[in-house]
Structure 1
Amino acid sequence: MRQPCALATGIGSLPFIEPEEALELIYRYLPFVPHWPQLPRRGMSEGFILQFLFPLLETGVLRCGAEKAYFATDAPDWAERLAAFYELYLAAEEGDEAALARFGTPREAAVGLYTFLERAPGRLQEAMAVKGQVVGPLTAGFSLNDASRRPAYYDEQLRDVIVKTLALNARWQVRTLAETGKPVLLFIDEPGVSIYGQSTYITVTREMILNDLVELVRAIGDNGGMSGIHSCAAVDWSILMDAGPAIVSFDAYSYFSSLIPYAGELAAFLAGGGILAWGIVPTSERVLEENVTSLLRRLENQWGELAARGMERDTLRRQCLITPSCGLGLLTEDLAHRIYALTAGVAAAVREG
């Protein structure tokens, strides 16, 4: 997978209730790099954040409120709950497989993952790799609050808990997906990085974001996986590249221009073997206005802009994946079918070109 040459894959979420329907779509259009489907319409436990933080619920560090989960910092036994978490974490770090398994996502929170694994023996004949995903620490940290409704990311202790939990979930996912016998890609889904540089988040530093991402990237790589970082917004792309992932995934349809100021960093990333996942297929009703030809033209024009800044078109073609611009969990099933069909079509057209 060092040079994927325009293979197609997905970001993660799909708008189905039943995993079988989601997997049929994936196997049909993304046979070379299939992913396990996140199914947020099944309920809160399959939500983008909690899906990867179940040890915090188990130990009582997180509490489910009426509307959302929050850190139970107001609990009389908060210190004991925190100690129970760190005891579990240290056991997993020291090689206790049962402890590591508790950092995995349970079936009730990721039925798509478990169905994917059960179907794997008969459905991965064409696969060159399999893909999973985990929420990023910044996104999780600003989606969860403490008992005072302050974002958890601002609390150094809570941020540490989040990062450690996600890093161990990433380790567990890579090892679990590797049981399919295929190389594993694991993307860190981090839309929250877009807050960096905004005046209302001035205390969130580049160093904080980078250190947290590096911990997850290392957890993936140290366990034999290829790491990716995905963001579907205009962000400081140098942060993502400096974190050291094998793959940077972005919304090429709407935010390609945000890459241009980082052309130097991007050239270095590609020279080091880095892969770009081009989210060239829009994940909105705008996809109804597009076809393979129009999207391929847009992609070729973008490659032309990078070529004008010193990057080789052949390198861009060899070191690329083709994806939807973002997850599809909130769309209609009909749109999901069209988006995945176009993703496969654009990827095939690039390879044939």
Structure 2
Amino acid sequence: MGRARGWGGGTGAARVVGLVNVIEYPWSPGAATGVGSHPGDDPLEAARVVFGELPALPYLPELPDRGVGADMVGRTARLLVDMPVEVQPSGWRFTDRPGRDMARAHDAMSRDLDALEEVAQGYSGPLKLQVTGPWTLAGAIELKHGDKALADPGAVRDLTASLAEGVAAHVANARRRVPGAEILLQLDEPGLPGVLAGTVPTASGFGRLRAVEEPVATEALRAVLSATDAFPLVHCCAPGVPFGLLRTAGARAISVDAALLRRRDEDAIGETLEADVALFLGVLPATDAAIPDLKQVAAPAVDLWRRLGFPRDRLAAQIVLTPSCGLAGASPDYARRALTTCRRAAEILTEIE
């Protein structure tokens, strides 16, 4: 096994002894985290919940309930350099100059970062940021006079370069606000399997956009993931996660919904883990539901690990437990309990024999 280069080594970092080297991750063994979104519209309260319930691996919460500009697409579109967007009846669209919608998006992010800075004062350790990946973004934003950006390879290249520049600035801003943080950068790519399969609808909805070839998809992801030295991970809460593609693109962790994994995925998952890539495993529903006991919550990780036959002492370091997706659709009480449960279930992973 190799060594994860350029990351890890921080206080409490997970250390996995391999056949030759030691692999280090930014989080401590038995860590849990969340995917990103939260219910409500109070960024300070959301940050307090995250840092209170997930002290080993907190993240910058997203609050889409605030409306335009706080949603998944608008929140990341504000990072694009020299590519302003606006909301039309059909959704987000590129425009000639920034307007009210971008102003709202910038204001929402500023408030989020202010809250983060206040709550994380004196914090030292891993901190996760989430942005929408280039392929999901290209499948959601329309060109000024045409179809979705995904239909135009030149537009996708421009979007990718713009996003990479904006993401680098975003990570640098977070580091200035929380100097002790070791940043993890999560690209949210729920649309990626559809992009690869050619199932993304055209703007009219009457057709499907041509499938993107894997090497092209890989290069765009690599460009954004490598724009900063933050620890790179990709979240995909859709069936058909392309594990091999994400590894090749440079992801050092892959975040998935355990309920969507199938036995046929296990060879690809095993190769991913063998390559020292961590697995962020979604083990609780993202909306209000009965929460099972801790052993049941941890069971998908434990059972998967045993089926794959990996050494027990790698489990707690290489698997991080999360809810299945963002918690924006949950009640505030459930969101808090889900994070608490993930944290406590992850602790069990350190005790598995």
The answer to whether the superposition gives a TM-score over 0.5 is yes
The amino acid across from 1:303 in the alignment is: W
CA contact 1:6–1:348 (8 Å) conserved in 2: yes
The superposition leaves residues 199-230 of structure 1 with CA deviations (integer Å, 9 ceiling, x where unpaired) of: 65543111221111000111132xxx111111
2:67 aligned residue? 43
* 1:184 matched to 2:192: no
What are the equivalent positions in structure 2 for 1:152-167 lying under 5 Å apart? 152-167=149-164
2:116 aligned residue? 116
1:171 aligned residue? 168
After superposition, the Cα gap between the structure-2 partners of 1:28 and 1:352, relative to the gap in structure 1 and judged at 3 Å, is farther
Q: Secondary structure at the match of 1:339?
A: helix
Once residues 340 and 114 of structure 2 are traced to their aligned partners in structure 1, the CA distance between those partners, rounded to angstroms, is: 24
The superposition leaves residues 90-138 of structure 1 with CA deviations (integer Å, 9 ceiling, x where unpaired) of: xxxxxxxxxxxx9xx733345223310233215x2xx521111111011
After superposition, the Cα gap between the structure-2 partners of 1:243 and 1:60, relative to the gap in structure 1 and judged at 3 Å, is closer
CA contact 1:253–1:282 (8 Å) conserved in 2: no
Once residues 295 and 137 of structure 1 are traced to their aligned partners in structure 2, the CA distance between those partners, rounded to angstroms, is: 32
User: Of 296, 310, 325, which aligns to 2:298?
Assistant: 296
1:348 aligned residue? 347
Superposition TM-score, scaled by structure 2 size: 0.80
Once residues 344 and 256 of structure 1 are traced to their aligned partners in structure 2, the CA distance between those partners, rounded to angstroms, is: 25
2:323 aligned residue? 324
% identity of equivalent residues: 25
Tell me the CA shift for residue 173 of structure 1: 2.4
Tell me the CA shift for residue 170 of structure 1: 1.8
What are the equivalent positions in structure 2 for 1:267-278 lying under 5 Å apart? 267-270=273-276, 274-278=277-281
- Alpha carbon RMSD of aligned pairs, Å? 2.5
Once residues 320 and 83 of structure 2 are traced to their aligned partners in structure 1, the CA distance between those partners, rounded to angstroms, is: 40
The superposition leaves residues 169-207 of structure 1 with CA deviations (integer Å, 9 ceiling, x where unpaired) of: 221222222232121111011111121235655431112
2:87 aligned residue? 64
After superposition, the Cα gap between the structure-2 partners of 1:351 and 1:132, relative to the gap in structure 1 and judged at 3 Å, is same
Once residues 154 and 291 of structure 2 are traced to their aligned partners in structure 1, the CA distance between those partners, rounded to angstroms, is: 47
User: Of 263, 283, 287, which aligns to 1:284?
Assistant: 287
1:243 aligned residue? 249
Tell me the CA shift for residue 298 of structure 1: 2.8
1:96 aligned residue? none
Q: Secondary structure at the match of 2:119?
A: helix
Superposition TM-score, scaled by structure 1 size: 0.80
The amino acid across from 1:120 in the alignment is: A
Q: Secondary structure at the match of 2:282?
A: strand
CA contact 1:64–1:70 (8 Å) conserved in 2: yes
Unaligned runs of 5+ in 2: 1-12, 14-23, 200-207
* 1:6 matched to 2:30: yes
Tell me the CA shift for residue 152 of structure 1: 0.7
1:94 aligned residue? none
Tell me the CA shift for residue 289 of structure 1: 4.6
Tell me the CA shift for residue 165 of structure 1: 2.3
The amino acid across from 2:171 in the alignment is: V
1:130 aligned residue? 127
Once residues 108 and 316 of structure 2 are traced to their aligned partners in structure 1, the CA distance between those partners, rounded to angstroms, is: 39
CA contact 2:142–2:148 (8 Å) conserved in 1: yes
1:75 aligned residue? none
1:213 aligned residue? 221
Once residues 198 and 264 of structure 1 are traced to their aligned partners in structure 2, the CA distance between those partners, rounded to angstroms, is: 27
CA contact 2:36–2:130 (8 Å) conserved in 1: yes
Unaligned runs of 5+ in 1: 73-77, 85-101
CA contact 1:38–1:110 (8 Å) conserved in 2: no
Once residues 21 and 62 of structure 1 are traced to their aligned partners in structure 2, the CA distance between those partners, rounded to angstroms, is: 29
Tell me the CA shift for residue 258 of structure 1: 5.6
Tell me the CA shift for residue 48 of structure 1: 0.6
User: Of 255, 266, 279, which aligns to 1:260?
Assistant: 266
